[in-house]
Structure formats: C-alpha cells, structure tokens
Amino acid sequence: MSERPRLTVLSGPSGVGKSTVVAHMRKEHPEVWLSVSATTRKPRPGEKHGVHYFFVTDEEMDKLIANGELLEWAEFAGNRYGTPRRAVLDRLESGELVLLEIDLQGARLVRESMPEAQLVFLAPPSWEELVRRLTGRGTEAPEVIERRLAAAKIELAAEAEFDTTLVNTSVEDVARELLALMRVV
C-alpha cells in the first residue's frame, strides 16, 4: 500500500512572497490542492464563496471551533480565519498533494494537531530585501510598516521550528523546490 502524501504547510514573514510562490506553482501544477480557509470577514469584490474563502458567520465559526472541525484558526484584524480539517484529510486520503499557506501561529497549531505535516519556512534572501519589500509599496503609514517589521523579526526567529527552509531568491525556483518537497513521501 502506498503512503498518502504529507500535508505541506508554507509559512514565513509578511512580505516574503508566499502567495506569489503559491500562485506560480498552482498555475504550473494545478494538481496541487490549496486549502481554502473559512473566514468571518465579508467577501471583497470578485471573491467567490468556496473559491477564495468559505465565508461564514461568527456563529458558524464558533461551531466549527467548538466541534474541532478546524486544523488551525486565528484572529486577524478583527476577523477569524481557519483551515477546515475534513477537506484537508479527504484530499490527503485520496492521494492528492495538499498545501496550506498560513501564518506562523497557524503553522504551530497544525504542528500540534498533525505532527506528521511538513512545515516549510519561506525566508527572504536578506533582512534588507524584506525591509525593501515591506516598505516598497509606499501605501502604508510608517507605524504600520514598523509593526510589520517588528512582526517579521519575530517570524524570522521561528525558522528553526520548521522542517525545511526555502530562500525566496526566485519565484520559479522556490515553486519548483516546494513541489519537489511535496512529492517526497
């Protein structure tokens, strides 16, 4: 009997390029299933229920949490986000490659509930590059940038908690390396 694939979790500091890497990999390899999170926030224009997020009420989220139906969940900017457990397990059981793109807190919670999961840390080429990416948008107030940089320092310090580190020097290379890691059973 062949082993089922391990759940792969991609995490790393804000601004490191997680969603860019995932988008590139999914374009090249649509067979990789990206978990869709449940959230209590309202849909933004163009977002579709079940595609971008499962949009749920606070009461529905309370039930999901109480019934242990989420692998991990967190509150961010006044809204809650979580990963539905059943969908992830079903996809893994059917032999699919499953990827979660979540924050550090979420990655730690997945490690607790699924110790066999593979945690991959996406690191910037350098601290200077991360600062450039976080400040380069020019759209955030200085205090928001300071908060993001402080959070990034904490997130970078957690790198040792992960099974593997990939350095984001090239989106194409990192996407290829991530896929290779996912294919190892």
Indicate the annotated binding residues for ATP.
12-19
Closest CA to 182 of 1, 2, 7: 7
Annotated binding-site residues read 12-19
Cα dihedral 48, 35, 155, 130 sign:
negative
